[in-house]
């Protein structure tokens, strides 16, 4: 049996949640989990394939592992493993390639591998059924804990490889997610971030996303529940009401837009129009005082002209959004947009991304400026460069200079000035 294991996570918050669970399964199997930079007999990389960069990051990280630790045996798991196994097998020291359906069994798979066995590839079709999680993913490094409640997607946006890499939409059994939430709270987490691919489609029997939030709210010791990202067409009004009611649901919604052009939205197979998205964002803004709304936007989708891009820019300028994540269109295997023309050249994609990133930074700054002088509750996470920093429920990063240990404490802070993308505050 091997003794030490380390982990590296690429990609999204859901991958982070799953890596935390994987770590616990290895610990239960008698492994010592060590820091990624320390020597380990087995190194697990939880891969991402949403963009070409995600793919090349796997190659880079495997090469880095070989340089740092030439004896280590590498396990590549997750999304890229699911759909690009042949490519991954050519990378150095790779002993296991395990797709999404079986990755949570990795500790057992590794234990059962004998010394002279050829590299193992385990990528069966992902089942559609409701799922449970083997153990709670206790993440000791972070104050906020991710709780996976859903996986996969049935929406098939034309640019997105996720329905292929993660399979069709499925939900976690309601009692199972509550049981993990209780363990996370017992381990000291005061904020839970609900994660999934298409969270708004959560359904176990008659339980939907608002039922999950209602149930979590009743658990003693849990101060905050945050929704990581949610598709615009899937947000129940009941959820918005709840965020506006001083509940422990964070006043923070991340709602992907992707484009401000109806024509591009249609080509992307998104399920809403620009007008519907705008109405919704404004409605949330009116219903939830102080709410922070952010979005994802994609530039360079095939056929995106300057006019379409200008529409996106104007829309993002006008809407009450506090920030946006800008993604460059990336051609993925299997997706429908591969066949669409004309492609946008990389230089234009780069320029458009830059313009939107600048706009996002300006909007973020304006949002922070609007909070100068207010008192907000901050959940402190870590000390860095002499400042304790943490987050408000409205996703404002706050830095406070103090001698005390504030880790995992929820304290009122007066926000004094905006400093880059965070705010300097003083304890009240």
- Smallest distance, ligand SF4 to C-beta of residue 199, A: 10
d(CA 92, CA 120): 14
Residue closer to ligand SF4 by CB (options 330, 394) is 330
Of the pair 294, 390, the CB lying nearest ligand SF4 is at 294
DSSP notation for 149-210: -EE--S---TT--HHHHT-S-EEB-HHHHHHHHHHHHHTT--EEEEE-SSGGG-EETTEEHH
Residue among 99 and 152 whose Cβ is closer to ligand SF4:
152
Question: Rounded to the nearest whole angstrom, what is the least distance from the CB of residue 272 to ligand SF4 in the complex?
Answer: 11
Q: Would you state the structure tokens that stand for residue 95, as one six-digit string?
A: 């002993």
| CA-based nearest residue to 395, from 357, 364, 360, 363 | 364
Q: Phi first, then psi: what are they for 135, rounded to 5°? A: -150, 170
- In the beta sheet, which residues pair with residue 120? 96
Q: What is the dihedral of CA 303, 305, 308, 311, to 10 degrees?
A: 160
Shortest reach from residue 148's CB to ligand SF4, in Å:
14
CB of 265 to ligand SF4, least distance (A): 11
Please answer whether residues 289 and 265 qualify as being in contact, where contact means their C-beta atoms are separated by less than 8 angstroms.
Answer: no
Place of tokens 């003083």: 426
Helix (H) or strand (E) holding 85: helix 85-89
Write down the least CB distance from residue 311 to ligand SF4, Å.
20
Site of interaction with ligand SF4 (CB under 6 A): 153, 155-157, 160, 162-163, 197-198, 231
Residue 303 CB, nearest approach to ligand SF4 (Å): 18
State which residue, 153 or 212, has the beta carbon closest to ligand SF4: 153
Handedness of CA 78, 13, 282, 421 (dihedral sign): negative
Least spacing, CB of residue 228 vs ligand SF4, in Å: 12
Residues 6+ apart with CB under 8 A from 86: none
Tell me phi and psi for residue 382, to 5 degrees: -155, 165
Closer residue to ligand SF4 (CB): 198 or 353: 198
- The CA-based angle 300-304-306, given to 5 degrees, is 105
For residues 8 and 301, which CB has a smaller minimum distance to ligand SF4 in the complex? 301
**Nearest residue (CB) to ligand SF4, 256 versus 390:** 256
Nearest approach in angstroms of CB 10 to ligand SF4 is 17
- Tokens encoding 143: 């104050």
In this structure, are residues 400 and 425 in contact, taking their beta carbons and an 8 Å threshold? Answer: yes
> Which strands sit side by side in the sheet containing 4-9, from one edge to the other?
32-33, 4-9, 42-47, 73-78, 94-98, 120-122
Choice between 136 and 268, CB closer to ligand SF4 = 268
Query: Quick check: 189 and 216 in contact, CB under 8 A?
Result: no
163/167 with CB nearer ligand SF4: 163
Only one residue has tokens 């705010």, namely 423
Q: How far is the CB of 231 from ligand SF4 (least distance, A)?
A: 5
């Amino acid at each position: 049996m091997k003794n030490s294991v380390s982990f590296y996570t690429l990609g999204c918050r859901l991958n982070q949640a799953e890596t935390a669970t994987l770590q616990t399964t290895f610990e239960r199997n008698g492994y010592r989990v060590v820091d990624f930079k320390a020597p380990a007999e087995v190194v697990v990389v939880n891969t991402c394939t949403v963009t070409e960069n995600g793919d090349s990051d796997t190659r880079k990280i495997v090469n880095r592992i070989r340089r740092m630790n030439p004896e280590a045996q590498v396990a590549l798991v997750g999304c890229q493993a699911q759909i690009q196994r042949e490519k991954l097998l050519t990378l150095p020291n790779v002993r296991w390639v395990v797709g999404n359906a079986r990755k949570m069994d990795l500790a057992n798979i590794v234990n059962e591998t004998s010394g002279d066995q050829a590299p193992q590839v385990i990528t069966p079709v992902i089942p559609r059924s409701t799922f449970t999680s083997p153990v709670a993913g206790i993440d000791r490094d972070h104050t906020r804990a991710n709780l996976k409640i859903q996986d996969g997607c049935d929406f098939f946006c034309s640019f997105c490889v996720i329905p292929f890499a993660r399979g069709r939409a499925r939900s976690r059994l309601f009692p199972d997610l509550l049981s993990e939430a209780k363990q996370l709270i017992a381990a000291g987490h005061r904020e839970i971030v609900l994660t999934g691919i298409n969270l708004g489609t959560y359904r176990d029997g008659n339980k939907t996303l608002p039922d999950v939030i209602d149930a979590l709210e009743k658990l003693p010791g849990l101060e905050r529940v945050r929704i990581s990202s949610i598709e615009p067409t899937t947000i129940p009004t009941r959820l918005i009401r709840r965020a506006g009611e001083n509940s422990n649901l964070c006043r923070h919604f991340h709602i992907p837009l992707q484009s401000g052009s109806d024509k591009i939205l249609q080509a992307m197979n998104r399920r809403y129009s620009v007008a519907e998205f705008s109405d919704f964002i404004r409605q949330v803004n009116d219903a939830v005082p102080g709410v922070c709304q952010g979005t994802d936007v994609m530039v360079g989708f095939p056929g995106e002209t300057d006019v379409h891009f200008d529409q996106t820019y104007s829309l993002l300028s006008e809407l009450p959004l506090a920030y946006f994540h800008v993604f460059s269109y990336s051609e993925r295997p299997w997706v429908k947009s591969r066949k669409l023309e004309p492609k946008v050249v990389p230089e234009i994609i780069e320029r458009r991304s830059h313009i939107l990133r600048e706009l996002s930074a300006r909007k973020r700054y304006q949002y922070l400026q609007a909070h100068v002088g207010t008192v907000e509750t901050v959940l402190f996470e870590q000390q860095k460069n002499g400042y304790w920093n943490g987050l408000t429920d409205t996703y404002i990063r706050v830095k406070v200079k103090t001698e005390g240990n504030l880790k995992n404490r929820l304290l009122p802070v007066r926000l004094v000035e905006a400093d880059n993308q965070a705010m300097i505050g003083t304890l009240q």
